[in-house]
Structure 1
């Protein structure tokens, strides 16, 4: 009996000691000034998977819904102009020829100019403040569209809309990277990026519903209602968005420590999670082979995604010219719903496999098939089916590309720049998209469809070539003597190496 009691007591004391050691390791891993990886990027601390899963679920519940709802209305306020066009926007503003394309283009000028500055502000000020401010700005801009009387005024408002929306997707992706591991990030980004195709679906439903209200011109009512809703959501988000784990009132001290430590454990040679802005890190966040390759891929993809957002109502109207405006609006909904479903499924698989590049490759073939169908047939059923193929996988590239450029850098500073770079290239793709479907090219739009086929084909080639290059460069890095390469460098210099660190490996 005594022996049993003694053994039992010994096991209990050993168990307590083990828990204390684990907690001590966590605090050391989260502590500033201490690196959480070895020279090859391997975490020096093991984490309790059950505790991690509970923490991740809690973060999912508190962070993702707010971000997703804000992005839903971000994209609705951007793409509702397509529904407004069907409801009489061009006629009321005296627009002719390619004036609609000019109106779309002006948005992307503001978008491109403010992409990087907006995300740097997100790092300096904090995403918990910047994202709500941006949301308030583009909500007010959308509301302003309800009161414009001519094309110049509409162009001015759309420019401001682009300025405020520029930082939303990179800012939200950067914000989530403060909370999630590399493998987890892609699925969480998809949970707000999925709002892009859903915005097309909701936009069509809202537009068709507002057409029954006769007190205000239908297209003005679209901007009025959606702008007011966005402003209301932005005011709520000032309260609900928590800037970073350390300031989260809904996390316990132990959960805050774990949240910081697990993110830091993937930062090669970094001694802090939120570092001070370093000019070398800023440059290497941009001048990164995989970041630039992925960003160009996102440019190509955005020609399709933004083209769908702005021109699907027009394309459907040309496929079914005999239908009423309400029917045309409703016919734009199903392709977006299908796209939204795959927007979740593809990143979910990417998360589970901790692979992004191969899924970027796999998004291209179905998009290519859709545009081949557009070019090969004039049959309405075939062309409407083609809208589903074009939407099935292209929306997933937004989440995949942002997660990929985030995974290919080390520091927080470089991550803010890499995400902004990706979105700047994407905005250039959106600018190209505004001129992909011209009025004189209708009703079959062979030039627009041919451009999108070429873009998706190039996407397939570039993503495949990048995957092979990443694997080859990783093999080259395996032969390096890490200690010799780092000899004579200070800790600050080592932290600034980013992807040039000899222990770095590209993450396909």
Structure 2
């Protein structure tokens, strides 16, 4: 094997003179430039061998989570004897374990690797989706939705953390966006599948049962979970697909622009330390506020489209185009955010777009102005998903310690998902078909989120300039300082916010 001549990306000693934290216990690989050819080979392997299985896992997750909305348009609720607000209670109950179990399971992700924990969770939610097709009472569906919430709770935070151990900060949003696009496109697939299955006429089974079975893919989800368990690498150091040179470059890349140390031992007290910083409480409020419009779109888009006066077949077919456009918007925003290494403006744009969509839907008669109302549905989907991805990337980018990052991501995602409790409680049976109170509530939370994100971004820019002036470091940016030199995170003198 040839000598490894290119490992680290920057020599810490050659940076401008500013205070740098002492070295961690992890041996540093900085000191030489990264070979671009080796880096391209490494990224190709990450993109083609890690992202696709994670994306398929999340696609199955999203299909399982959202199919009750499509099933309701085929009278699933009346066929199993739901009355009053029981349907909305079933949608809501999913979020209780989803929020409660996300953080503890994410700690297991850090301790035992997402490559092992997430496939086990997939096995669980795949099993639950199969049971949904044969459940015929409120109690049975209630239990299934409860366990579904447990098994799906750590999928997003676990994956975001997992990807942050392979990709640098300026690469993370686009990869999480590509992964999260599975959830957005699931809405389109779910509508197409529902459109097809609702044409099925069977003397023994309802067409909505076929919807659950097809989207549960019978044993396919469970089988793929077993494959993913053995396929996904625990980390780059032990991955058989990488050469020794690629492993060294992978390590140097993470120390340069992602983490303080690699594979640090999990310390629960240290992992929760970021919450002593008021900034993380602000991110918590942002997560809660962005979660309301996101949950409203994810759970109730079929009902919103149904309010336009279409029958069950057209309703599900007409959810496809908005979800496809929303997926394209998500990818454009996340790739642009990585290209410009900018987060806050790219978060504000989709928040404003969705806000306009909710205002338009709430202000007009959807039947009398069907074209305008349907266009507003596109505005909802164009702005619903991107803020969730970019905010998660944002606080990940500014948390260089692995254990802290795993816990912060889990807590923030749990808070965002807790907003589903708000959304499901404001979409009430008595407000059908226009759901004006729910639309107004979603718009209000989205507007508050927009103001908080903009304010936080402005403060970060000001704080970076203040530190540069105080330390005499010119126009130093986040990417100018190796993350391994930031042992105390934002308290490190050399820390610069990635905004």
Would you call these one fold, judging by a TM-score over 0.5? Answer: yes
2:292 touches 2:446 (CA, 8 Å); kept in 1?
no
Shift of the alpha carbon at 1:285? 3.7
1:306 touches 1:430 (CA, 8 Å); kept in 2?
yes
The CA distance in 1 between the partners of 2:198 and 2:258, in whole Å, is: 52
The CA distance in 2 between the partners of 1:400 and 1:128, in whole Å, is: 23
The CA distance in 2 between the partners of 1:504 and 1:279, in whole Å, is: 23
Q: 1:65 aligns with which of 52, 61, 64?
A: 52
Q: Which runs of 5+ in 2 are unaligned?
A: 13-22, 473-484
Shift of the alpha carbon at 1:280? 4.3
Residue in 1 aligned with 2:481?
none
Q: 2:496 aligns with which of 492, 501, 505?
A: 505
The CA distance in 2 between the partners of 1:250 and 1:35, in whole Å, is: 23
Structure 1 range deviating more: 227-236 or 201-210: 227-236
Q: Does 1:401 align with 2:384?
A: no
1:281 touches 1:411 (CA, 8 Å); kept in 2?
no
Q: Does 1:298 align with 2:287?
A: yes
Residue in 1 aligned with 2:153?
166
Residue in 2 aligned with 1:77?
64
Q: 2:186 aligns with which of 192, 199, 202?
A: 199
Q: Which runs of 5+ in 1 are unaligned?
A: 1-18, 37-42, 483-493
1:25 touches 1:45 (CA, 8 Å); kept in 2?
yes
Residue by residue over 1:362-412, the C-alpha shift from the partner in whole angstroms, topping out at 9 and shown as x without a partner, is 222211211121122111111111100111122111221111111011111
Q: 2:448 aligns with which of 439, 458, 465?
A: 458
2:305 touches 2:374 (CA, 8 Å); kept in 1?
yes
Residue in 2 aligned with 1:119?
106
Q: 1:365 aligns with which of 352, 356, 364?
A: 352
1:367 touches 1:393 (CA, 8 Å); kept in 2?
yes
The CA distance in 2 between the partners of 1:359 and 1:315, in whole Å, is: 26
Counterpart secondary structure, 1:507: coil
Residue in 2 aligned with 1:264?
255
Q: Does 1:253 align with 2:239?
A: no
Shift of the alpha carbon at 1:222? 1.8
The CA distance in 2 between the partners of 1:305 and 1:238, in whole Å, is: 30
1:44 touches 1:265 (CA, 8 Å); kept in 2?
no
1:301 touches 1:459 (CA, 8 Å); kept in 2?
yes
Structure 1 range deviating more: 109-118 or 468-477: 468-477
The total of aligned residue pairs comes to 469
**TM norm structure 2:** 0.89
The CA distance in 1 between the partners of 2:5 and 2:183, in whole Å, is: 42
The CA distance in 2 between the partners of 1:361 and 1:104, in whole Å, is: 28
1:90 touches 1:100 (CA, 8 Å); kept in 2?
yes
The CA distance in 1 between the partners of 2:222 and 2:124, in whole Å, is: 8
Q: 1:94 aligns with which of 74, 81, 86?
A: 81
Residue in 2 aligned with 1:315?
304
Q: CA 1:199–1:25 in 2, change beyond 3 Å: closer, same or farther? A: closer
Shift of the alpha carbon at 1:318? 1.7
The CA distance in 1 between the partners of 2:233 and 2:488, in whole Å, is: 30
Residue by residue over 1:305-357, the C-alpha shift from the partner in whole angstroms, topping out at 9 and shown as x without a partner, is 22112211111112124x3x222110111110100001100000011111112
Counterpart secondary structure, 1:434: helix
Residue in 1 aligned with 2:5?
22
The CA distance in 1 between the partners of 2:332 and 2:85, in whole Å, is: 38
Shift of the alpha carbon at 1:294? 3.1
* 1:96-245 paired onto structure 2 within 5 Å: 96-213=83-200, 214=202, 215-227=204-216, 228=218, 229-245=220-236
Residue in 1 aligned with 2:20?
none
Structure 1 range deviating more: 208-217 or 459-468: 208-217
Counterpart secondary structure, 2:246: helix
The CA distance in 2 between the partners of 1:175 and 1:411, in whole Å, is: 13
The CA distance in 1 between the partners of 2:26 and 2:385, in whole Å, is: 40
Shift of the alpha carbon at 1:262? 0.5
2:165 touches 2:258 (CA, 8 Å); kept in 1?
no
